[in-house]
Amino acid sequence: MSTPVAVIVGVGPGLGMSMARRLGREGFRVALISRGAHRHDAYLADLAEHGIEATAYAADVTDADRLGEVLAEIATLGDIEIAYYGPGPTQPIVPITDIDVATAQAAFEWVWPAVQVAGAVLPGMLKRGTGGLLFAGGLSGVRPMPMLGQLALAAGALRNYALTLHAAMTDRGVYAGTLTIGGLVERGDIHAMVTADPTQFGAAQGHTLNPDEIADAAWEMFRARTEAEQVFDVLGD
């Protein structure tokens, strides 16, 4: 029997790589997907040092054709038992009072790939009665955060999608859950950008999250299959 595969969509140096290491330690072969390939050699070397078998693929998740090609290629490696979806939106934030329909629609370019990933892996999981999906989203999906503008709409939609999938598959052996993140993830690109700017460095103090701890919690969610969501909030009310 082939080694089960874990797909990490939107891998970065913070939570994405922590998820890759955590799942690799559980015996999964890891398949990384990120927008560009320039970090892949370092990612693969890191995982190899931990004894984790891994491959890496370049795909912008908003390019549905390319994402589909990569997911199909990964499926040839073995049964995909877990898929983690963690890319963040990239468009500039528009104040919620100023958004128009086009701006709101553009925010959902972050959500549609999550549905595409689920559509690619769920048929096999449901047929086997095993596996699961984990989604990473923002705190604005839980409580109003006007400073995130149109992105809050997409965060709410992604969270609802994950929770509804969880409810739909409770009795079918397949898990879905969401990691709702309120804080700067350490080692991630946004954290690096903030802490590199002396005028913004203070904004990180007391508002950071350890990605290894989030990855541990994610694994426990997948293993226990009882809770559909865990909120990581260091931003306060």
Q: pLDDT (tens digit, 9 = 90+) per residue, 16-70?
A: 999 999 999 999 999 999 999 999 999 999 999 999 999 999 999 999 999 999 9
User: Is 19 in contact with 215 (CB distance < 8 Å)?
Assistant: yes
What is the 8-class DSSP label of residue 186? T
In a domain, 98, yes or no: yes
User: Is 115 in contact with 199 (CB distance < 8 Å)?
Assistant: no
User: Is 13 in contact with 187 (CB distance < 8 Å)?
Assistant: yes
Domain interval for residue 31:
5-183+211-228
In a domain, 80, yes or no: yes
- Prediction pTM value: 0.94
In a domain, 106, yes or no: yes
Which pair of tokens denotes residue 168?
């739909």
Question: What is the reported pLDDT for 205?
Answer: 63
**CATH (domain of 58):** 3.40.50.720
Mean pLDDT for the chain overall: 92
In a domain, 134, yes or no: yes
| Better pLDDT: 2 or 111 | 111
Residue 152's alpha-carbon distances to 24, 122, 129, 161, 233, in angstroms, are: 32, 26, 33, 14, 16
pLDDT of 146 higher than 70: yes
Residue 166: pLDDT band by 50, 70, 90 thresholds? Answer: very high
Question: What is the reported pLDDT for 89?
Answer: 82
pLDDT of 192 higher than 70: no
Identify the CA nearest to 30 among candidates 62, 54, 58.
54
In a domain, 75, yes or no: yes
The domain total for the chain is 1
In a domain, 195, yes or no: no
Question: What is the reported pLDDT for 184?
Answer: 84
The residue with tokens 């955590």 is: 22
In a domain, 193, yes or no: no
Amino acid at 97: T
